[in-house]
Every structure is written in structure tokens, then in C-alpha cells.
Structure 1
Amino acid sequence: MNLLVDRLDSAEKRGSANAQSVALGERTWPALYKAQRESEKEELWGYLGELAKWGWLAVKPDAAVRSQSGYANSPRVTVANEAEVRRAVSRGERIKSAPERWRAAVREGLQGSDEVKAAVSEFCVDMPDRAMSEVVERLNELPSLAGKPLLLREVSSQLFWGMSKVLDKRQGLVAAILGVDECPFPESPIQLQVFLPPAGYRGVLFIENLMSFERATRSMSSAFEGLALVYASGFKGSAQRLRTPDGCSLYYAARGGISQDLRDGFEVWLFGKGSTPAFFWGDLDWSGMRILSAMRTSFPSLTAWEPGYSLMRVVLEEGKGHSPEAADKQGQKPLEIAGCAYADAQLIPVLQVHGKFVDQEQIYL
């Protein structure tokens, strides 16, 4: 019976509603099939017959359980009363993992074909304060929102009790339920803060940190002359949707140029139709190098901004950098190549040698 419960547990882990029958033999019931005397075998077989009479087990072929030597007929056994079998061996219902509970909730509650349920089962939604059955009930309301001009997070808020991020990275779930190839609801637009020099610009500089961006917009340094400045926080600048009008919301700084011609020219470049050089300036640490590398997927010609990074490199070489632990950055993973010739030749090697970082805010220009 312990073996049978093992099989039940294994079936549940696979997401199967029923366990397969067990073929009895030396491997599965050695106490019987390796017994020396026929009387021992008949006694043990009689016990199994009793379990079958009680309705705990089912035996095939049917005639085997009625014969004293039915064990010789290659019988197969299936659990017929799981609760009683588990109770007999003191093994209550197995604690199921979140993905198993999600599959069960989808199987029992989602309105859709088996193919749809299989696809949705791959996107486990485990909300601490809600039963998975409640989540599935809300997913059944998703088709009523199809065709409405909503962002993905707006859809999430309407379905899941005001929580806007439930469907993040779950576009495949949405597409499966709606029976379409791609999720029809766009992600939230990326918000970019942009400073355009009134006299025009010859390049675009993405700045990672907000304080450094604000300082740059006020700076009189010639280093920023002729550069449009863009605040790009963290990895959001790497998103492909940044270069589409629907995926990006632009906010122009009032102290910069805000003429229609300047804005039109910037947007022509941003949305992929211009050739203005682009640069990135962030922290001199592994995270900064990874942001540079990631942004190059959206801006292939993007390079590290030498006027800023050259000063940071000097700080690091003079031993004035900080340890990863000092700034709670010990979890950053090294990067071998960022794809930018200057970063790969000058910045990554100096990080490897010194093992310390320099924050962008430390540099004044």
C-alpha cells in the first residue's frame, strides 16, 4: 500500500488525475513473490482479496482475486479508495507545490479547451491572500476585456482586485485564454525625461542616475555641450518598446528647448529613423556595464561616454573606489564583454583588476 501511495503522489506531481495500475511481481511485492512456501503466498494474497472486498483496491483480471493463487495470473492493482489506503499507512494527502495546485485550479475552474488549460497551467499565479480558484475565476472574465484600449497593467488591475503587476511577463497566458497569437494589451509605456539644448544637439546621452541627470541639465560644462540628455533609469532603457511611439512616453524639460522642430527631430531619431550618435553614462560597476550591454540591443551603436567614464576610471585607479559590500552591491555578477570597444578595452579590465566600484554621483562635470 505504501508503494501504491507513492504512485498516487507521483501522478499528482505530473498533473495526472489518476495513478496508473501497478503490476504485481517480485519488484513491487517481494514479500509475496519471494516467499518460500505456497501457504505464505496464499495468506498474503488473501489479505489483498479482503482489501478488494472492502472497496479499497481494484484488481485485474477480476478472476484473480477470487482464486487462492490469483497472484500467478499477472494481476494489476489500482487504488479504488484513496482516503482509506492513505489512512491505513498513515500517509495523509501530500502537500502539493504551488505549480501543482495551480494546475489543479486551472483544470477544474478555467473555461476553455484542454489545450488552453495546458498553456495556462505553465504560468503559475500564486497570490498570498487569494485562493488559486479565485484567481482562475477572475481569468474567466478576461475575454470580456478583449478589444478594449487597455494597457496590460490596467487589465491586471481590473481583474485582480486592483493589483496591476499580476500579468507582468505573463502575456502568453493572456494570449492563450483569448485564443490569439500575441497578447493584445501593450505593456506600460516607458517614461523618458528629456533635456534638449535650445541651440540643437549632435548626440544623445543616456544618464543612469536621476541626480546626475538633473546636475547635467544645469551644468555649464563644455562636456555636455551639444548633447541631448535622457534620464534612463536602470534596465528600462534596454526595452525594445522604448523605440516605438506606443511604448514610450516623453517628458521634455522646461529649461531646455521645447520647440516643435527640436522635439520632432528627437523623436525621429528615437523611433529609429535618425543616425545621431548615442552614448551611455552610469555607475562604473558591473551593473552599469550590464545596462550598457542591454541597451545596445535597442541602440546598436550606443557606446560608453568617455568624458564621464574616463574620470571614474582615474578615481578607481587612485584607490578611491568603494567595495561592493560598502554599497550593498556584492550580488553583482562580472561581465566579460559589453560589446562597446571602449568599455571592453578600458572599463571592464579596470573593474576586474581593482574589484571596486565608482558611483556616477561622485563625478562632477
Structure 2
Amino acid sequence: MRLSLDQKTAPELHSAADADQSQLLVMLLDDLCETGWVALRIEPSRPFATFTERKPRLELCHFDELASWAGYTPQAMRWQRRWLAHLAAQWTAGSVTSVGTVPADPQLVLDYLARSPLTQLEGLDLAEATRSLSALIELCRAGRPMALREASARVFQGRSKLLDSRGELLRLLGASAGQFFEPPIQLLLALPRDEGFADVLFIENLVTFERMADARAQVWDRSLLVYAAGFRGSARRLRSRQGCRLYVRTPSPHTDVSAVESWLFGAADVPVTFFGDLDFSGMQILVNLREVFPGACAWQPGYRILVHSLSQGGGHLPQQALKAQQADPGETGCAYADRELLPAMRHHGRFVDQESFDYEQLQSTTEGV
């Protein structure tokens, strides 16, 4: 975040009576920057240009420290503090109106909300927010199994995602283990023509999955193609019957998925590969997939095409495709990804989307790389 020191935000700088007053203000800015909370950004010096003509601006580096020094409390935190005080008052022995809506250990819940606030409730009337939390306590104590997002939507004014990653809160409110569950992962399967398969190929993007399922080139003619919508395909519940549902792309009266179930839910040893975007996020999916299938590796025939495109100047800069925030995973554990794919991305500073994969070039390109 940057703040331009223009006439509106820093009128003192622009109306300084003389050079000494202007220099004093600049020195004060330098003192502020020495704290490390902010940094001064300014255009390069040029003949006769004054400090303000060089477009000075402050870049925020450490908000929390600066806010603490200035005594500033964000609006959201002010609401949260009022709500915590309201809850504490409601949960004291003298003001409880419904024993069934008070958590077993109110202080533990208050401590949790102080360090992990429910920011999506900001702006609600305090009494309404408290009623929502009371409804959640009652739902937890009832012990009724329910999809997590269904429970969230029921008690929090239709907000279905508010309880995501809130397992600790649910436990503190009395939920039993497994009472609130994630929806099952849906795996879309494309079986080989004779339905027997020699290996499994996870594909990140639906467009590529459909093209490869239609094409059935020799390289993946015997592969079971699986589409699981990116990261969701690497969740651990993928390998439990309760956490996963199988859907066959082109079922027939003779379709038999018992071999798929034997591999996915049993102990059948089948080679697993992954093919996705040639970017850091795709490599992170591979990392997560290897937690579920330890031997999984990057699918070399497809990635060789994408790496070849990089070497020829193809692909895009991360910021050109909203990927600038992707973090380099460092290592995936897959030798090919760690020795070839990640170094190629780092060297060229570019990514390639999986949809650019052209299977018609597969034979000639892989032989020439």
C-alpha cells in the first residue's frame, strides 16, 4: 500500500515557507522511515527539482507496529472488541437468559474469538451476532451430522463459508468429531476404451481433460484420466469411500469401476502422474498429490511440450495472468519436476497454461527435446 504525499495528504510539504522548513519536514519523514514501518519512494533527482516535484510517496511496510504506535484500531477490530465484551456480559452467571446457548467454557471461546475473529459478522447488530453464535452452539450440542457449509449458512444469515477452517471453534462449542463434514470430492473419470488401465493421470484443467479424453493418443491410450478440479484432487479424503464420489464420463452398460475402486480405496499399486499448468501453483498441486499418492510424479510427455514452449519464448509473465502471488514450492519430491520444470520456470521467469498443450506435436517435440 502506498500513500502519495501530494497537496491533499501532506499540505505542509507543499506550503513550506522556505527551504529550511521543507528540509525539517523531510528529516521528520526520514526519522519515520528509520522505524521500518514505512519506506519513502521518490523519483530520481533531476536539476532544479524540489522534493515535492519528485513525487514522494510512503509505502506501508509494517501496519500493526505503526497502528500500535499511533493508537489506531481498525474499524473491524473495534466491532470485534465490542462484541467480545457483549458476549462476556451475556455469558456471566448473572445475565444468562438461556443456559443452553452458553458454551461449556466461555473463556476459551472468548480467547479463540480474540485471536481468530469472525470478521464476516462485522456490521451486524451485536445481539443478532450473539443469536447466531447461540444457534451454532445448539446445533453443535444436538449432535446432528451436517455438511459444514450447510451448518454455516443456517446459523450465519446464509454465509456458507464462514465456518471453513474453524474446527477448533466447533470443538469449543461442543461439536463431536466428524459431526460437520466437507462435501465429497467428485472425481470425473475417463476410462480407456476397453476399461482396463495401466496407469492413472490426474489432469488439472477441465478443457485439457476433455480434449485428452476425446483424443486418446497412443501416449495415454491405456491411462485412466482423472479430473478433480485442481487442489481438491489432492485432499486426503480422496481415498475414502465417504469422502469421494466417482463419475464416469462416458458410461456404458458394461462399465465396471471395480478396478478404479481397488486402486483408489484399496491397496492396488498403480503408477500415478499429474499434468497441470506449468506454474508454481501446478507444482504445489503435485506436492499435495504426493502426500496422498507418494509415488506420484509429473507427466513428462505433456510437460515437455510446455517446457519447449518456454524455451522458444512462449508463455506469459506471472503478472499477466494474475499469478504474481504464486509461491515457489522449492522442491516437490519429484525428480523431473525439481530438476527440469522448476529450474525452467525460474530461468525464464514465465509460466505456461496447460491448455496450450498440443498433442499433435507430442511425438516430434518430445523426440527433439
TM-score norm. by structure 1 comes to: 0.68
SS in 2 for 1:280: strand
| 2:352 maps to 1:358 | yes
Q: CA deviation at 1:208?
A: 0.5
Give the Cα separation in 2 of the matches to 1:337 and 1:284.
14
| 2:121 maps to 1:125 | no
Cα 1:223–1:280 change in 2 (3 A) is: same
| 2:220 maps to 1:202 | no
Query: Deviations for 1:73-96, whole angstroms, at most 9, x for unmatched residues?
Result: xxxxxxxxxxxxxxxxxx9x9965
| 2:259 maps to 1:265 | yes
Q: CA deviation at 1:277?
A: 1.0
Match of 1:221 in 2: 217
Match of 1:191 in 2: 186
Cα 1:97–1:249 change in 2 (3 A) is: farther
Larger radius of gyration: 1
Match of 1:134 in 2: 128
Contact 2:143 2:175 in 1 (8 A): no
Cα 1:211–1:260 change in 2 (3 A) is: closer
Give the Cα separation in 1 of the matches to 2:156 and 2:229.
28
SS in 2 for 1:246: coil
Cα 1:325–1:209 change in 2 (3 A) is: same
Identity %: 39
Contact 2:191 2:224 in 1 (8 A): yes
In the alignment, structure 1 segments of 5+ residues that lack a partner are 1-90
Pairing of 1:136-155 with structure 2 (within 5 A)? 136-145=130-139, 146-155=142-151
Give the superposed CA RMSD: 2.5
Match of 2:341 in 1: 347
Cα 1:204–1:139 change in 2 (3 A) is: same
In the alignment, structure 2 segments of 5+ residues that lack a partner are 1-70, 92-101, 360-369
Cα 1:275–1:177 change in 2 (3 A) is: same
Query: Deviations for 1:315-365, whole angstroms, at most 9, x for unmatched residues?
Result: 111112222222222222223211111101111111111111111100122
**Match of residue 81, structure 2, among 100, 111, 126:** 100
Cα 1:100–1:236 change in 2 (3 A) is: same
Contact 2:331 2:338 in 1 (8 A): yes
Give the Cα separation in 2 of the matches to 1:106 and 1:192.
43
Cα 1:98–1:197 change in 2 (3 A) is: farther
Q: CA deviation at 1:154?
A: 1.2
Pairing of 1:67-78 with structure 2 (within 5 A)? none
Contact 1:106 1:117 in 2 (8 A): no
Q: CA deviation at 1:246?
A: 1.6
Q: CA deviation at 1:198?
A: 3.6
Contact 2:278 2:351 in 1 (8 A): yes
TM-score norm. by structure 2 comes to: 0.67
Give the Cα separation in 1 of the matches to 2:106 and 2:138.
21
Match of 1:307 in 2: 301
Q: CA deviation at 1:212?
A: 0.4
**Match of residue 333, structure 1, among 303, 327, 337:** 327
Q: CA deviation at 1:130?
A: 2.3
Q: How many residues align structurally?
A: 271
Pairing of 1:279-290 with structure 2 (within 5 A)? 279-290=273-284
| 2:154 maps to 1:158 | yes
Contact 2:80 2:122 in 1 (8 A): no
| 2:255 maps to 1:274 | no
Contact 2:146 2:179 in 1 (8 A): no
